[in-house]
């Protein structure tokens, strides 16, 4: 029997199916971008990925039984988890692992939306922060030409695998093991810059190394999910301006600089006050991007269920030691308990009131501006009133 991965007609049909799935969704594929998805295979970049089974992540290989089901999963418009707590799927034993996903192959429709916004042309010099599996870099190689693509990855394992797999399908971009926010090759200037991991703000070096008239597509996210994707154009004065894309994005954070976990302190049981909102509102992706604009940089959020199965959120600001717990109560108003100088839930309640007063504005109605000194997001209401937040 022929191995399904050696059946070129089957693989072509898989790529056509994926392209059709993307095109049937919210992304209208330009012909060049459709050509990239039709010609660049995904399966060489994800020979092993994790399936979630309860609390465990189980590695799934094309050789594990039903190869056709595996291939269908690869060419489905979905993200594929490739690393959990630094353990790559290829290094995991068959029993799997527990932990938090730390790398994945992005859902192709989200890739398509970002690549469409990036508007890559043949010969453009492209910088990618976060090589990951290498699949997005392969798309960039197809669009710009592989000699014009630089991709940086902090994980040495992922760097080696991405380089090997890109070479395996005939692409030879510059693949660097380093810090994507700080590891830009000296004196290099780029027409296009894209990140496949999230940052709190646009790194200054990206702003500096983007050519005048160049485009950056950058996922912006703090402690909350449902972040934003910014598309910025570099102006002659060094400012980068643009819009937020309509697509929510919960990319994993770009690993950059020293990584220090701030442990969340316990919050005393009193005093308490009644909350206007449950902490669950932060899981509403239509609101969470707006909520993030009102949160201090560096704030940490933890959440889970209480002993009686009700939602509990804790916010902690390491800058001044403030910590606030928002706790759902059975058949009663949620309670807020704070320690330290500030009640961290009060700004969220006010932000939610403003969001409702503005008639729940969408991401794509917001503008962004980045300079070497300041980065801001703005929204102009229908009555002309300007609202502005500093990232």
Both 232 and 317 in one domain: the answer is no
**What is the pLDDT at residue 20?**
94
- Residue 160's domain is classified under what CATH number? 3.40.50.150
- Comparing 61-75, 132-146, 342-356, the range with the smallest average pLDDT is 61-75
236 and 107 within one domain? yes
**Cα dist from 4 to 44, 67, 71, 164, 334, whole Å:** 13, 7, 8, 22, 54
207 and 350 together in one domain: no
**Has residue 347 got a pLDDT over 70?**
yes
Quick one: 147 and 279 in the same domain? no
Share of the chain above pLDDT 70, in %: 98
d(CA 202, CA 214): 15
Tally of domains within the chain: 2
pLDDT of residue 1: 40
Whether residue 31 is contained in a domain is answered as yes
What would the mean pLDDT of 169-188 be, rounded to a whole number? Answer: 95
The band of 256, judged by pLDDT with boundaries at 50, 70 and 90, is confident
236: in domain = yes
Rg of the Cα atoms in the chain? 22
Q: Give yes or no for residue 342 having a pLDDT over 60.
A: yes
Does 205 sit behind a cis peptide bond, omega within 30 degrees of 0 on the bond before it? no
Same domain, residue pair 276 and 240: no
Picking from 15-24, 35-44, 260-269, 277-286, which range would have the lowest pLDDT averaged per residue?
260-269
- Which pLDDT band holds residue 261 (cuts at 50, 70, 90)? low
Mean pLDDT (whole number) for 239-250: 93
Average pLDDT in the 39-65 region?
Answer: 92
Domain that holds residue 343: 272-355
Residues 213 and 298 in one domain: no
- pLDDT tens figures, 57-111: 999 998 777 889 999 999 999 999 999 998 999 999 989 999 988 889 999 999 9
Does the residue 258 lie in any domain?
Answer: no
| Strands 149-153, 174-177: pairing kind | parallel
Residues 235 and 302 in one domain: no
Is 264 a residue whose pLDDT tops 90?
Answer: no
With a cut of 60, say whether residue 249 has pLDDT above it: yes
- Distance in angstroms (rounded) separating the CA atoms of residues 324 and 161: 43
65, 129: one domain: yes
Supply the DSSP symbol for 199. Answer: B
3-state secondary structure 218-272: EEECCCCCCEEEEEEEECCCCCEEEEECCCCECCCECCCCCCCCCCCCCCCCCCE
Q: What is the pLDDT of residue 258?
A: 64
Same domain, 285 and 329: yes
* 28 and 131 part of one domain: yes
Same domain, 48 and 141: yes
Instruction: Provide φ and ψ at 236, rounded to 5°.
Output: -60, -25
Residues 177 and 232 in one domain: yes
pLDDT exceeding 90 applies to what percent of the chain? 80
Residue 257 clears pLDDT 50, i.e. is over it: yes
* Mean pLDDT of the residues in the chain: 93
288-312: average pLDDT:
93
As a whole number of angstroms, the distance between CA 360 and CA 349 comes to 14
369 contacts: CB under 8 Å, gap ≥ 6 = 239, 240, 241, 375, 376, 378
């Amino acid at each position: 029997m022929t191995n399904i991965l050696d059946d070129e007609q089957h693989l072509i049909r898989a790529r056509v199916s994926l392209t059709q799935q993307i095109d049937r969704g919210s992304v209208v594929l330009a012909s060049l971008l459709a050509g990239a998805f039709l010609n660049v295979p995904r399966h060489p970049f994800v020979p092993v990925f994790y399936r979630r089974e309860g609390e465990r992540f189980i590695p799934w290989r094309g050789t594990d039984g039903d190869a056709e089901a595996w291939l269908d999963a690869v060419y489905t418009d979905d993200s594929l988890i490739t690393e959990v707590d630094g353990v790559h799927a290829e290094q995991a034993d068959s029993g799997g692992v527990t932990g938090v996903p730390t790398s994945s192959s992005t859902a192709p429709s989200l890739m398509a939306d970002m690549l469409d916004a990036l508007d890559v042309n043949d010969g453009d010099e492209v910088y990618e922060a976060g090589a990951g599996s290498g699949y997005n870099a392969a798309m960039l190689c197809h669009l710009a030409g592989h000699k014009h693509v630089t991709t940086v990855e902090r994980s040495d394992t992922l760097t080696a695998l991405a380089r090997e797999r890109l070479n395996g399908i005939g692409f030879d971009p510059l693949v660097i093991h380093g810090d994507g926010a700080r590891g830009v090759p000296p004196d290099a200037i780029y027409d296009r810059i894209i990140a496949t991991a999230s940052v709190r703000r646009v790194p200054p070096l990206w702003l500096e190394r983007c050519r005048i008239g160049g485009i950056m597509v950058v996922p912006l996210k703090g402690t909350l999910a449902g972040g934003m994707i910014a598309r910025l154009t570099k102006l002659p004065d060094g400012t980068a301006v643009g819009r937020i894309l309509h697509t929510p994005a919960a990319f994993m954070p770009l690993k950059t600089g020293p990584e220090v976990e701030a442990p969340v302190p316990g919050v005393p049981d009193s005093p308490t006050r009644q909350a206007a909102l449950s902490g669950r509102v932060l899981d509403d992706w239509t609101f969470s991007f707006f909520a993030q604009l009102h949160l201090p940089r560096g704030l940490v959020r933890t959440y889970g269920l209480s002993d009686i199965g009700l939602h509990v959120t804790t916010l902690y600001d390491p800058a001044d030691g403030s910590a606030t717990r928002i706790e759902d109560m059975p058949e009663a108003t949620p309670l807020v308990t704070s320690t330290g100088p500030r009640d961290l839930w009060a700004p969220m309640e006010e932000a939610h009131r403003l969001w409702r007063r503005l008639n729940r504005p969408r991401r794509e109605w917001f503008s962004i501006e980045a300079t070497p000194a300041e980065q801001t997001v703005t929204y102009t209401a229908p009555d002309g009133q300007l609202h502005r937040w500093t990232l």
